[in-house]
Chain A
Amino acid sequence: MTSPFSDEKPSSAARRIRMTVNGVAVEAVAEPRTTLVDFLRGDLGLGGTHVGCEHGVCGACTILLEGRTVRACLMLAVQADGARLTTIEGLGRDGVLHPIQQAFVDEHGLQCGFCTPGFLLSVHELLEQNPDPSDEEIRDFLGGHLCRCTGYKTILRSVRLAARRLRETKAAVAAHAEASS
């Protein structure tokens, strides 16, 4: 990723950074010490990325950076200069839920909902890489996300349901493309 504004000269002054968040180009000023999660929440007003521990254990602040999950509390905003990010606000649009979100609703995959955005983005990366994960693969991928409410049972079910629906959609799209070609 290119960094149009990153200063190669040392400075503790706030600097202008630019990134694409949920498909929208944004430009703002950040102090070097501002973490990415504080920048998203405080400067960009994207409050769906939650802060649970600020030391990289709970996973609540997980977002996608260039399509890969990262913990937004373990990055500085200036490190994301020039990057393409997706937060929970970019998963569903205009009130239409992404199939992963819908699966969590349908399977009661959340209670308080505080950890949920982070989970959803990790599930997104998982299912992109592995459309039909086993329970062990789901556990392995989500092991760095803490949920204090659900006991994880319905989260596992939600992931399975989301995976099935996404596979079915993909198959239907492929069948349609074949039929119309």
Chain B
Amino acid sequence: MTRIESVAHQLAEVLKRSKADYIEARLEESQSSYISYRGRELESIGRQTASGGNVRALVKGGWGFVSFNSLDDLPGRVELAVAQAHLAGKEVSHLAPVAPVTDRVLTDQNPVAIPLAQKKQLLDEYNDIIWRTPRLQTSIIGYGDGRKKVIFLNSAGSFIEQERADVTLRLTAVATEGNQVQQVGLSLGSRGDFNAIQGIHRQVEEMARNAVGLLVAPQIKGGEYTVVLDPVLAGVFVHEAFGHLSEADFVYENDRLREVMTLGKKFGSNELNIIDGAAVPGLRGSYKYDDEGTPATKTYLIREGKLVGRLHSRETAARMKEKPTGNARAINYRYPPIVRMTNTYIEPRSASFGDILSDIKEGVYAKNWYGGVTSMEMFTFSAGEAYMIRNGKLAEMVRPVVLTGNVFTTLHNIDAIGNDLDMNEGGGCGKAEQSPLPVSNGSPHIRIRHCLVGGR
């Protein structure tokens, strides 16, 4: 039995005796390693171990939360969390019922144990490819892996031990000429499987060539275009433009937003289905139980264009009289769980890529991910690469574009959905200081009419 396991068993007794409407604890042990390159040489390499935990208490609708590294004096920390909750709570506690569970979810994956020499060898190969490309100025590579064990227990008697592992790789090629600087990136990830980042030599080569290509690419004129998004960028779009809006913690106490997000409301065409679910297996956002001990589900957010569901914690589900969906997640023991996405995607339909392009006279094909952010109503996301579409065919490369729009009109403007669903595992999501949380998102190719593109 490891240290946190024995501590957890003692803590279970303390939780049962405490004076709160509800109380839970999470204890965590983790190991991780990282390697980064800036330029030709390895820049930093490091190893990390961490252990810690937290106690969260609910009293009359107010939450107390205490996090710590030292596992000493846990009864004192429980007492502090309860006292804080008493101070914060002035109303009534609401928590959707979840049956207590005792379970162990283990993994064999341990990327941290793979020798650093082997990891470095692979990254050296990729870096060599980037540096062989003429006119390339520099490269940036960030590799990270981790493995952790989390024990969750609560006052209802749940005791869940879960292990998970994670691998991420981000490569960037930077090309310069005079005062011009251009870059193209590539992000990959997996639930701890190191093989997922091996053998991508050809993609790395293409990335480096594209960075150089951008130096001579013209900048697009700003304005409205018909835009086709590749699966990677469409995945970012669905995450940013709609996913965050589906997180019930934005909505549950906000009457005006609840009106906007009434179930049954039409958001897009009959072809549009959007799903989020940690129960979709094998992806970076997958798990069996969330950080409140609620079993994972697969949730339709939009079905045939209509809003049919949203993402919940136990509290938001109770307040909205809906079912918990198992979307309460915390990035680590230093934070309380909040409503988050897991694996978010647009379901594929029948159109081929060629069909989608065929009737566009002038448009933009936006590819690859650079970033995305949302204010609920408005979203902005950036392509890593972009091409003009002329007379139904891909034409010249242009500078990467930033796309923006109003969520509510843009979803209606999706008028073609492809048949080629692909999930991107290289992303991380940030919300309320908790970043980057492992998620995946994906889509087939989609076409959006009247999309606002920034430019000169």
Tell me whether A and B are bound partners: no
Question: Which positions in B face A, CB cutoff 8 Å?
Answer: none
